[in-house]
Amino acid sequence: MINEIYNRTLNYLDNISKEERKEIGQFFTQPSIAIYMASLMTINKNSIRILDAGAGSGILTSALCQKCLKNNNIENIEVILYENNETVLPLLRESMELISTIMEEDNKNFRYQIVSKNFILDNESFWKGIKEKEEEELFDIVISNPPYKKIRKNDNEAIVMKDIVHGQPNIYFLFMAMSAKLLKANGEMIFINPRSFTSGAYFKEFRKWFLDNVKITDIHLFNNRGNVFKSDKILQETLILKAKKTDKEIKTINITTSPDDSFNNITKLTVCKNILIDKTTDDKYILIPTNQEELEVLNLFNSWNNNLESLGFKISTGKVVDFRATEFLTEKKNEYTVPLLWASNFNNNRIIHPIKREKTPQYILLNEKSKSLLIENKDYILIKRFTSKEEAKRVQCALYFTKQFNYNYIGVENHLNYIYKVNGDFSKEELYGLFTVLNSSFVDKYYRILNGSTQVNAGEMNAVPLPSLEKIINIGQIALNQSNITVEFCDKIIEDFFINQNKYFKSVI
Ligand SMILES: C[S@@+](CC[C@H](N)C(=O)[O-])C[C@H]1O[C@@H](n2cnc3c(N)ncnc32)[C@H](O)[C@@H]1O
């Protein structure tokens, strides 16, 4: 039945513009993904109640029903489908009639109800605790490909769920939270949605609420982000997640990956639940290792108990946003200007300034108005915020030495982060030691496990566990004498200090 429903969906797609669907966050799930999602359901009882939140043409419900057909224990099935887009509703009704006929032919007792209302607003009083729900009104299983759409903080949905909104909300995570809330005890939710909620400051309150209310049991990642929702060219990294509402301890989590949505060549890793949540901050970042090597990287970092902040360092983002500061930017050096550093000033882990490059003025005026955008001229470790997908390393650092420039202040453009010592200045050993750790491919790998996007955020860099200051200084003493601190050199040091302990002096010097 799923193929029939998908074919009808393709006809519908021919008659409605992509812009119109984008406006309401409407993207349809491929049958192979829907079938995989349904395969994660482990509920096995005589009567089940299903919720399809943002049902579209009913593909996800059809996949679940197909699975129920193969299970003789499940006899009574009730499905509630929320869909508030008038245009797709006739198609959804058709799909549900088709499913209903097939289920009845197979002697299943099947009932469904389409609720053509806003899923979030319709459940407002339950979310707020104003109205309780009877057990029979809750769900054994929620399946959803929620709408992906940034909304404003003062949109009604965000106001209803304001306790989990922090910064700009996206409606998809409101769907996840509302669905978790609507689960019965031992109920399961199976979602396909962007990976972005696993890190990032905007999702912090949601992550805390979600992890307190349900337990993640399965995560599926696609290795090639362009291969999912390809007809809609969605490049957002997507994951499939299953979570359970249970008081029982869940010891392990299944992490699977596949190159694309054909689900051929699936790799599976079972990890201890303790490693899933970052422990260095209270931001509850979700770490997703996908192979043995990444698991070993996590184990290494889990043996370190510090982070930038606890070591007395701080990472901030460059304050000069070029298009907002145009009046201060200039190509020409004069007595009223100071250097402005851009990502393009990086050269072999050092800063070369000035350089000739279009649209990157190398100087910024120092005056009363611009001063708040500038920072003291101290030693810094600079980290690029954006790297292209093609670049081998996402965490790219450079050493900046105060003595390079005879100025009291410098400007750092907004595409860069800078790390400094909070009280006073880095000692040479601290500077070189910290740089060596951060420039290693180990930090790069850890960061990728922590954050699926190509952006390097200050908040998440702060969540990267680091060794003790003593070890950092020891590393710095060695790195100081190195003319070129290559990634290979940094990796060798990390391996010798922390993986093949005590072999350092035998192997490196
Ligand atoms: C990403 S599509 C997924 C459709 C379908 N479940 C699938 O997997 O193919 C999300 C659906 O949610 C609907 N939707 C968006 N906002 C909604 C809301 N607040 N309440 C109910 N449905 C909503 C959209 O019209 C769209 O059909």
Task: Say yes or no: 240 and 317 in one domain.
Answer: no
CATH code: domain of residue 464: 3.90.220.20
**Angstrom distance (rounded) from CA 369 to CA 329:** 13
CATH code: domain of residue 161: 3.40.50.150
In a domain, 468, yes or no: yes
Average pLDDT of the segment spanning 379-388: 93
CA nearest ligand 1 atom 18, residue: 118
Average pLDDT of the segment spanning 141-161: 95
Q: What is the pLDDT of residue 230?
A: 56
**Angstrom distance (rounded) from CA 446 to CA 393:** 12
Q: Is 179's C-beta closer than 6 angstroms to any atom of ligand 1?
A: no
Task: Say yes or no: 207 and 327 in one domain.
Answer: no
Residue 10 pLDDT level (bands cut at 50, 70, 90):
confident
CA nearest ligand 1 atom 25, residue: 85
E strand or H helix at 221: strand 215-222
95 has a pLDDT exceeding 90: yes
Task: Say yes or no: 188 and 321 in one domain.
Answer: no
Using the mean position of ligand 1's atoms as its centre, give its distance from the Cα of residue 53 in Å.
7
Which of 118-132, 262-276, 489-503 is modeled with the greatest confidence? 118-132
195/234: higher pLDDT: 195
505 has a pLDDT exceeding 50: no
253/225: higher pLDDT: 253
> Which tokens belong to 162?
């304001």
> Which tokens belong to 98?
């088709």
Average pLDDT of the segment spanning 361-388: 95
Which domain covers residue 469, as residue numbers?
Answer: 313-507
Bridge pairing between strands 337-341 and 409-412: parallel
Task: Say yes or no: 237 and 357 in one domain.
Answer: no
The number of domains in the chain is: 2
Residue 454 pLDDT level (bands cut at 50, 70, 90):
confident
Q: What is the pLDDT of residue 506?
A: 44
Task: Say yes or no: 239 and 369 in one domain.
Answer: no
pLDDT > 70: what percent of the chain?
A: 96
Task: Say yes or no: 322 and 211 in one domain.
Answer: no
Using the mean position of ligand 1's atoms as its centre, give its distance from the Cα of residue 148 in Å.
9
237 has a pLDDT exceeding 70: yes
Task: Say yes or no: 369 and 238 in one domain.
Answer: no
Contact 120, 87 (CB under 8 A): no
In a domain, 491, yes or no: yes
In a domain, 366, yes or no: yes
441 has a pLDDT exceeding 90: yes
> Which tokens belong to 201?
């400051």
Q: What is the pLDDT of residue 226?
A: 54
Task: Say yes or no: 318 and 170 in one domain.
Answer: no
Task: Say yes or no: 241 and 318 in one domain.
Answer: no
Which of 96-110, 267-281, 451-465 is modeled with the greatest confidence? 96-110
CA nearest ligand 1 atom 13, residue: 54
In a domain, 259, yes or no: no
Average pLDDT of the segment spanning 122-147: 95
Task: Say yes or no: 326 and 239 in one domain.
Answer: no
In a domain, 277, yes or no: no
Kindly report which listed range (89-103, 114-128, 451-465) carries the lowest average pLDDT score. 451-465
In a domain, 151, yes or no: yes
The CA-based angle 467-468-472, given to 5 degrees, is 80
**Angstrom distance (rounded) from CA 255 to CA 277:** 14
In a domain, 278, yes or no: no
> Which tokens belong to 501?
């302990």
Residue found by looking up tokens 């010891």 in the block = 251
> Which tokens belong to 206?
């949601």
508 has a pLDDT exceeding 50: no
Task: Say yes or no: 241 and 323 in one domain.
Answer: no
Average pLDDT of the segment spanning 192-214: 94
Q: What is the pLDDT of residue 507?
A: 43
In a domain, 243, yes or no: yes
**Angstrom distance (rounded) from CA 53 to CA 61:** 10
Task: Say yes or no: 194 and 331 in one domain.
Answer: no
Average pLDDT of the segment spanning 287-315: 94
Average pLDDT of the segment spanning 137-159: 96
Q: What is the pLDDT of residue 209?
A: 97
Using the mean position of ligand 1's atoms as its centre, give its distance from the Cα of residue 497 in Å.
51
Residue 229 pLDDT level (bands cut at 50, 70, 90):
low
Q: What is the pLDDT of residue 29?
A: 94
